[in-house]
Structure 1
């Protein structure tokens, strides 16, 4: 498989995790922080307050990260996980204070083979 095939816009995936977690008690807050820490340690970046993104070189890699999230779901709250192609992600329009911003660019990943 050549480099162009490995990094095809339809093969490269983005995993998006969005959630609403309770923070009413100390235990809830601790569970919230623990979940966010799991996401950050697994390479996710905060896109909005409760939306995290991760760039994955393939669907197989995306499935690994989705499995990790599922193993660390908090006991309460609402969590959604979606994976989309790089092509779909690139069509997203982002606005900050009514000004159009560029879509976030993926972090360059080093591939050793």
Structure 2
């Protein structure tokens, strides 16, 4: 596989003090999940992109759904960089096959 695959990481810290803020938080989070993002940990989500153009499109989608308050950050990394992530504490558990070796392109 070549290095064209990328990951879009979304980090967010949104206020949840009022009912309206909690509703907006839930709306943003549901939109990420509906768009195919996987939760890595609380308020950190990622999605695989097949190429830089697809990654830009994914990032544009997140921008269009951004909440009015709070902080949303995005980071684009190559699949090779993402695979070098080190788990320092705890164990990695998933039932989702999301590594490069098991990706099938039809």
What is the aligned partner in structure 2 of residue 87 from structure 1? Answer: 80
Q: d(CA) in 2 for partners of 1:66 and 1:14?
A: 11
SS at match of 1:55: strand
For the aligned residues, what is the CA RMSD?
2.0
Deviations 1:36-91 (A, max 9, x none): 01101110000000000001111111111100000000000000001100110111
SS at match of 2:7: strand
Structure 2 length-normalised TM? 0.85
SS at match of 1:95: coil
Q: Does 1:23 find its partner at 2:16?
A: yes
Bigger CA radius of gyration: 1
SS at match of 1:87: helix
What is the aligned partner in structure 1 of residue 25 from structure 2? Answer: 32
What is the CA distance between 1:33 and its match in structure 2? 0.3
Change (3 A) 1:109 1:16: farther
Equivalent residue pairs, number:
101
Q: d(CA) in 2 for partners of 1:109 and 1:77?
A: 37
What is the aligned partner in structure 1 of residue 35 from structure 2? Answer: 42
What is the aligned partner in structure 1 of residue 64 from structure 2? Answer: 71
